[in-house]
């Protein structure tokens, strides 16, 4: 008789346990993509602080808010940001979608704003059309502090006007933004001329760098033919040293470009805005003409890697994507980098209002009453903390202490029967009985008194 073999099977209990645990194990394998970040509640005050200021300045300077899609046709960025730029060559998240269209997660927003300007016939509006935005952008680069694969920018664009006062006012707006959020920055300004004057300059520039070819990194050797202007802002030590003595573009500007630049600087001077003329400032996107500028942290000599923002004029961009010739200028700033600076410099920012009181309950009926009380306080603008799911008064009061509230409202079975509540002064522990129908007014009165003690009109000497 063949020997009976027993296949080991899982007990029902084990199978049920495995099934329960399976999703947990699967979830454990999933993690945040490299270069991406969750923005958690503790940090949101920083984000809201920045968004509020962006909107405030947008409205003050006459900019309307625009939101463009995160996904755009890949060609939009190839034609504007430039095929030979690091962004398009190495950093874009591009893919073919289900409709066989080549699409890209936007690495920046100027091209999209320009596309929207054409598509919505903004050319027919009174010019300049001024637009501001904020949102997420995507660049597949090597993540490090202040450099992410998904990052957030805000920006301002003024389209349809070539007057130098536009450039100066944009720089002033950037300057105001940082001044008003309390960060010291340094403004770097340059002009890279128009394609006509740049052609002469590029010849001189390439000749200069060719004579120093042996000192250049491999990327720069390629740039000699592909994108010579970028030779000026390579971060490699050897290349940076060569760039120091390179011919400066301002010496090669045509008369109109020079005049435009001089007038931009005159407007900046008249607004008493301090800037640093930086002949190496060429920016990493191909669409710029004439004015370029960057905002650097005040620590000074930091290279553009940690620049807080940048922008300039882009008079040919709209024509490049099928619009009429339309001069324009703008800038964008990196929000994560600004928040890093705000934290490093310990700048005070407005915080979300904390609870002023705490509502604690004991018993089924009291809990029901307390949910209603919470709404009454909310209606009167009094922020209440609570932990309604807890049964223990001790647990609830220790949460109240952790929240740092001044008063706790306590409702137990006795109070329900009497139609009262207890108001507890959290500092000295003294409790008083108050009619439940008068509790809101009573709390208002007491908070007003406590706040007066905290911040008297006249400092006590």
Closest among 357, 329, 353, 354 to 443, alpha carbons compared: 357
Among 265, 268, 308, 416, binds ligand HAM (CB under 6 A): 308
Span interacting with ligand HAM, options 187-195, 224-232, 330-338, 396-404, rule CB under 6 A: 330-338
Does the protein bind ligand HAM through residue 162 (CB under 6 A)? no
At closest approach, how far in Å is the CB of 278 from ligand HAM? 14
Look at strands 185-191 and 276-277 and give their pairing.
Answer: parallel
Counting Cα atoms < 13 Å in the Cβ hemisphere of 23 gives 2
Q: Is 309 in the site for ligand HAM (CB under 6 A)?
A: yes
Q: First CA to last CA across the chain, in angstroms? A: 105
Tokens of 384: 């209440």
**Residue nearest ligand HAM (C-beta atom):** 334
- With respect to ligand HAM, which residue has the nearer C-beta, 204 or 347? 347
Q: Where are the alpha helices (DSSP H) in 36-133?
A: 44-60, 74-80, 86, 110-119
Interaction between residue 155 and ligand HAM (CB under 6 A): yes
Side by side, the strands of the sheet bearing 357-361 are 384-386, 357-361, 407-411, 420-425, 431-435
Q: Which of 297, 334, 385, 412 binds ligand HAM (CB under 6 A)?
A: 334
The answer to whether the beta carbons of residues 246 and 208 sit under 8 Å apart is: yes
Q: Does 337 bind ligand HAM (CB under 6 A)?
A: yes
Is residue 304 classed as helix, strand or coil in its secondary structure? Answer: helix
Please report how close the Cβ of residue 304 comes to ligand HAM at its closest, in angstroms: 7
Closest CA to 318 of 133, 119, 456: 119
Extended beta strands in 322-380, E state: 328-334, 357-361
Q: Which is nearer to ligand HAM, 110 or 420 (CB)?
A: 110
The residue with tokens 């590029």 is 202
Query: CA 368, 371, 372, 374 torsion: positive or negative?
Result: positive
57 in Cβ contact with 49 (< 8 Å): no
Contact between 336 and ligand HAM (CB under 6 A)? yes
Minimum CB separation of residue 109 from ligand HAM in Å reads 6
**Is residue 175 within the footprint of ligand HAM (CB under 6 A)?**
no
- Name which position in 130, 139, 223, 290 contacts ligand HAM (CB under 6 A): 139
Shortest separation between residue 305's beta carbon and ligand HAM, angstroms: 9
The secondary structure of residue 4, as a DSSP letter, is: P
Residue 112: CB atoms within 10 A of its CB come to 22
CA distance 258 to 227: 23
Minimum distance between the CB of residue 216 and ligand HAM, rounded to whole angstroms? 23
Asked if 307 interacts with ligand HAM (CB under 6 A), we say yes
Q: Build a one-symbol-per-residue string for 250-289: x at contacts with ligand HAM by CB under 6 A, - elsewhere.
A: ----------------------------------xx----
Beta carbon of residue 268, minimum distance to ligand HAM (angstroms, whole number):
17
Give the residue, chosen from 63, 77, 117, 151, that forms a contact with ligand HAM under the rule CB under 6 A.
Answer: 151
Beta carbon of residue 121, minimum distance to ligand HAM (angstroms, whole number):
21
Decide: 72 and 112 in contact? Cβ < 8 Å.
Answer: yes
Considering the rule CB under 6 A, would residue 385 count as an interface residue with ligand HAM?
no
In the chain, what is the greatest distance between 2 CA atoms, to the nearest angstrom? 107
Question: For ligand HAM, which residue of 187, 332, 357, 373 counts as binding (CB under 6 A)?
Answer: 332
Q: Which is nearer to ligand HAM, 154 or 374 (CB)?
A: 154
What CA–CA distance (Å, rounded) separates 4 from 447?
Answer: 81
- Binding of residue 412 to ligand HAM (CB under 6 A): no
Task: With contacts defined by CB under 6 A, name the span among 24-32, 36-44, 304-312, 367-375 that binds ligand HAM.
Answer: 304-312
Residue 296 lies near ligand HAM (rule: CB under 6 A): no
Q: What is the CA radius of gyration of the chain?
A: 31
Written as six digits, the tokens of 253 are: 């500007």
**CA distances for 204 relative to 189, 247, 252, angstroms:** 22, 7, 9
When asked if residue 154 is in the footprint of ligand HAM (CB under 6 A), the reply is no
Please count the residues of this chain forming the interface with ligand HAM, following the rule CB under 6 A: 28
**Residues at the site binding ligand HAM, with contacts judged by CB under 6 A:** 108-110, 139, 141, 146-148, 151, 153, 155, 157, 284-285, 307-312, 314, 330-334, 336-337
């Amino acid at each position: 008789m063949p020997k009976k073999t027993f296949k080991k099977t899982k007990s029902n209990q084990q199978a049920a346990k495995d099934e329960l645990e399976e999703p947990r194990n699967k979830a454990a394998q999933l993690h945040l993509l490299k270069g991406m970040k969750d923005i958690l509640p503790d940090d949101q005050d920083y984000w809201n602080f920045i968004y509020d200021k962006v909107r405030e300045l947008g409205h003050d300077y006459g900019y309307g808010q625009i939101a463009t899609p995160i996904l755009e046709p890949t060609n939009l960025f190839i034609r504007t940001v430039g095929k030979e730029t690091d962004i398009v060559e190495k950093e874009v998240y591009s893919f073919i979608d289900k409709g066989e269209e080549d699409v890209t997660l936007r690495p920046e927003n100027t091209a999209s704003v320009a596309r929207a300007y054409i598509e919505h016939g903004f050319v027919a509006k009174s010019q300049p059309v001024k637009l501001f935005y904020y949102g997420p952008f995507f660049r597949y680069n090597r993540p490090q502090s202040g450099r992410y694969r998904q990052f957030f920018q805000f920006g301002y664009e003024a389209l349809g006007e070539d007057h130098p006062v536009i450039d100066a006012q944009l720089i002033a707006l950037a300057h105001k933004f940082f001044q008003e959020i309390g960060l010291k920055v340094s403004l770097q300004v340059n002009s890279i001329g128009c394609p006509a004057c740049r052609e002469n300059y590029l010849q001189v520039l390439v000749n200069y760098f060719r004579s120093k070819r042996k000192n250049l990194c491999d990327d720069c050797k390629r740039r000699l033919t592909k994108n010579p202007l970028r030779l000026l802002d390579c971060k490699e030590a050897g290349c940076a040293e060569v760039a120091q003595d390179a011919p400066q573009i301002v010496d090669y500007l045509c008369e109109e470009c020079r005049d435009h630049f001089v007038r931009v600087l005159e407007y900046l001077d008249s607004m008493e805005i301090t800037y640093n003329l930086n002949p190496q400032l060429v920016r990493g996107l191909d669409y710029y003409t004439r004015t370029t500028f960057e905002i650097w942290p005040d620590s000074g000599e930091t290279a553009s890697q940690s620049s807080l923002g940048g922008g300039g004029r882009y008079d040919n961009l709209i024509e490049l994507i099928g619009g009429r010739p339309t001069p324009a200028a703008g800038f964008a700033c990196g929000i994560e980098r600004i928040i890093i600076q705000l934290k490093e410099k310990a700048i005070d920012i407005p915080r979300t209002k904390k609870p002023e009181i705490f509502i604690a309950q004991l018993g089924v009926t009291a809990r029901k009453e307390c949910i209603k009380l919470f709404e009454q306080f909310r209606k009167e603008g009094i922020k209440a903390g609570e932990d309604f799911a807890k049964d223990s008064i001790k647990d609830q009061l220790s949460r109240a202490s952790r929240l740092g509230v001044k008063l706790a409202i306590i409702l137990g079975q006795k109070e329900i029967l009497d139609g009262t509540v207890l108001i507890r002064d959290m500092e000295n522990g003294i409790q008083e009985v108050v009619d439940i129908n008068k509790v809101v007014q009573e709390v208002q009165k007491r908070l007003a008194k406590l706040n007066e003690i905290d911040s008297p009109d006249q400092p006590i000497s």
